[in-house]
Chains A and B, each alone.
Chain A
Amino acid sequence: MNTQFSVSPENKPIFIALGFTLVIILIGTGYTLITQGAAPMLMPSYLAQQLQIGAFLGVCAAGMMMVILLGHIDLSIPWTLTAAAMMATTVGGPWAIPAGLAVGLIVGLFNGLGVSVLRIPSMIFTLGVDTALRGLMVAHTGGFAPQTEATPLMRFLAADRVLGIPVALFVWAGVSIAIAGLLSRTGFGKAVYATGAKESAAFLSGIRTKWVSVGAFMISSLCAATAGILLAGYSAKAYQGMGNPYLLPAIAAVVLGGTHILGGRGRYIGTLIGVILIVFLNSVLSIMQMPEAVRQIIYGTVIIGMLLVYGRETTSRN
């Protein structure tokens, strides 16, 4: 356990991201103290509300991390999320959530087989799957927001509170514990790191790398589907393009959390902090009433700036 507290190269990004998150909160608080004379950012209810919105991104990023650890990427998240939400509201009743999750499992299996068996680069294969899913959903809904509504259970999971804490946070915590446990305590987790570091070496040491990839893609899609079900519950229905704002922030959160984009390195706690960083960055920018243009510029600058601070990687990994 000693390693957890000394700053190893792997943990450095996590501490920097954590520090930066605190700086963001301080800046936001300072701003509101000067302009309004109050500090809403430090109110528990405000924090809980922001984290509730962040839970959707957090669940997406958790799944995305599994795939990025393998050195792949999952660009099908937006429409996996939307398809799961639409299927859940269409089926309705007690089978709504299983139906949504099933969409995730099927898409993940398909992605995984395409990437590991057909050996098509994940970038282009998941992009194709995303387009095909969009096509399926447009054909299914006629291009409009579906009229069907989220079930009471979905609404409870996404929008209700228990003991003053949003239920969505419990879902996010559950997913987090599952992923963190999977990565650090199971053989599958070790296999993911090994496959991401060097697939040929992992294969030669007896890891069935094909099935590791399939598993990681299924987890990613399952997480996207979970986020879709939550988001449909939060807004009471599914709508076209509901997943689009989650793809790039999910990738950014994973990378800001110190996971290497080429795979093999990264810890789940980093992803968690990366998500929190992005959520608070967004909320401070909206408190300051920044126009969308400035938000985009700050957003991009923060990602570049933080990666530069993390230390440059060595020129060649070969």
Chain B
Amino acid sequence: MIAKPLRRNRGFAAALILFLVLFVVYHILHPRGFSTAVFIQNANETVAIAFVAMAQTIPVLIGGLDLSVGAVMTLTACLASYLVVGTPAQMIFGMFLTLLAGTTFGVMNGLIVVFGRIQPIIATLATGAIAMGLALLLRPTPGGDIDADLNWALTNSVFDFAETYGLADDGNAAWLQPFANIPVPLIILLVVAFGVWTPFKRTVTGRTLYAIGSAESAAKLSGLPVRRAKIAAFGLAGFFASCGGLYLAIQTSSGNADITQAGAYTLNSIAAVVLGGTSLLGGIGGAIGSLVGTGILRVISFYFRILSVDPLIQPLIEGLVLLAAVSLGALRTLRIKNKLEHFR
């Protein structure tokens, strides 16, 4: 079952192995060994960037790039800090509105790219500025007051979630025990990834994304819905980015329109996408790979804590690891016999 996609995409397989090795070694080296508390903390620090990386993957698959994902995440986080308040029903409605807003912004990106015929990279550079402006209008200074129960329930283990809302005998029911220690953020991430991306990939629109990335003219001549797929790609990117924003708002109980942070999320998302085996030329890869890529990026920074690395050289190590990882992609060029193949 699992072996087929692995064989088909070596980049993804390599990323998965690298991540598992890094993750296991991290927990072996950790002074307290593997513990739920550490696992939950790890998961919490990974969710927002993982969502943004998944968002970035989809425009990259069609050979584009979305420089607005970080800004959309920030915008939706600011929006959520106003909307996710009140009674549980109001909060759920607010979450829905937040995701809708992010998706709408993404669709708007798609419309500009498709009907305005502007290159994605420059179109999203501009819409990213607009998103940041809107975020700053919403939250000139950081603030917001998201329900503390919700914050606690979604950033801890399944047991805490059940206890907070009095489900399953306050989390003590026998059937819950096998899952009780799994972090909720991890579940949210996997449910959204496998619940949205995997089914989408199998639709005609989803397959068209890959076709566009491989050869756009061929896709068009074959009668595939190229325009619809492009709009869907950016819309889905907006959706995933708003998932990240929503989670960030709940996690920090506030919204913060931080331009530097938005830029950092966008750039890290590109790195995670590449580490996860997705080709920047389009047509190869997927959002699940980007989850793994994010995992690699995050685990490396977890190492700094337990190995007591001098904080001053941490950014240097991060940069060198990133360079080394992307240089592995260069191994491909050594195998190429016909020089013209370089110029794809």
A residues within 8 Å of B by Cβ? 73, 75, 114, 118-121, 123-125, 127-136, 138-139, 142-143, 199-200, 203-204, 244, 248, 251-252, 255, 261-262, 291-301, 303-304, 307-308, 312-316, 318
B residues within 8 Å of A by Cβ? 65, 112, 116-119, 121-123, 125-130, 132-137, 140, 215-217, 220, 257, 260, 263, 267, 270-271, 274, 280-281, 311-320, 322-323, 326-327, 329-330, 332-333, 339-340, 342-343
Known contacts A120-B329, A128-B322, A262-B119: does B315 contact A294 (CB below 8 Å)?
no
- Tell me the minimal C-beta distance from A122 to chain B in angstroms: 9
Known contacts A119-B330, A262-B119, A299-B129: does B319 contact A124 (CB below 8 Å)?
no
| Further pairs besides A123-B65, A133-B319, A316-B220: 17, Cβ < 8 Å | A120-B327, A120-B330, A121-B281, A127-B271, A138-B312, A143-B312, A244-B260, A244-B263, A293-B136, A294-B137, A296-B129, A300-B126, A301-B126, A303-B122, A312-B118, A313-B117, A318-B217
CB neighbours (8 Å) of B281 from chain A are 121
CB pairs A–B below 8 angstroms (23 shown)? A119-B332, A120-B326, A120-B329, A123-B280, A128-B326, A131-B319, A132-B322, A200-B343, A244-B263, A248-B125, A293-B137, A294-B133, A297-B129, A297-B134, A299-B126, A299-B133, A300-B127, A300-B133, A303-B122, A304-B118, A307-B122, A315-B117, A318-B217
- Tell me the minimal C-beta distance from B298 to chain A in angstroms: 15
CB neighbours (8 Å) of A130 from chain B are 319
Contact B315 A138 (CB under 8 A): yes
Pick the residue among A200, A296, A308, A316 that contacts B340 (CB under 8 A).
Answer: A200
Compute how far the CA of A291 lies from the CA of B140 in the bound complex, rounded to whole angstroms: 10
Compute how far the CA of A270 lies from the CA of B21 in the bound complex, rounded to whole angstroms: 51
Contact A297 B130 (CB under 8 A): yes
Compute how far the CA of A298 lies from the CA of B260 in the bound complex, rounded to whole angstroms: 19
- Tell me the minimal C-beta distance from B317 to chain A in angstroms: 7
Contact A127 B270 (CB under 8 A): yes
Known contacts A124-B271, A136-B316, A296-B133: does B117 contact A312 (CB below 8 Å)?
yes
Pick the residue among A125, A203, A304 that contacts B127 (CB under 8 A).
Answer: A304
Contact A132 B320 (CB under 8 A): yes
CB neighbours (8 Å) of B314 from chain A are 135
- Tell me the minimal C-beta distance from A274 to chain B in angstroms: 12
Identify which of A131, A251, A295 gathers the most chain B CB atoms within 10 Å of its CB: A131
CB neighbours (8 Å) of B342 from chain A are 119
Known contacts A128-B323, A293-B133, A316-B216: does B116 contact A304 (CB below 8 Å)?
yes
- Tell me the minimal C-beta distance from B195 to chain A in angstroms: 29
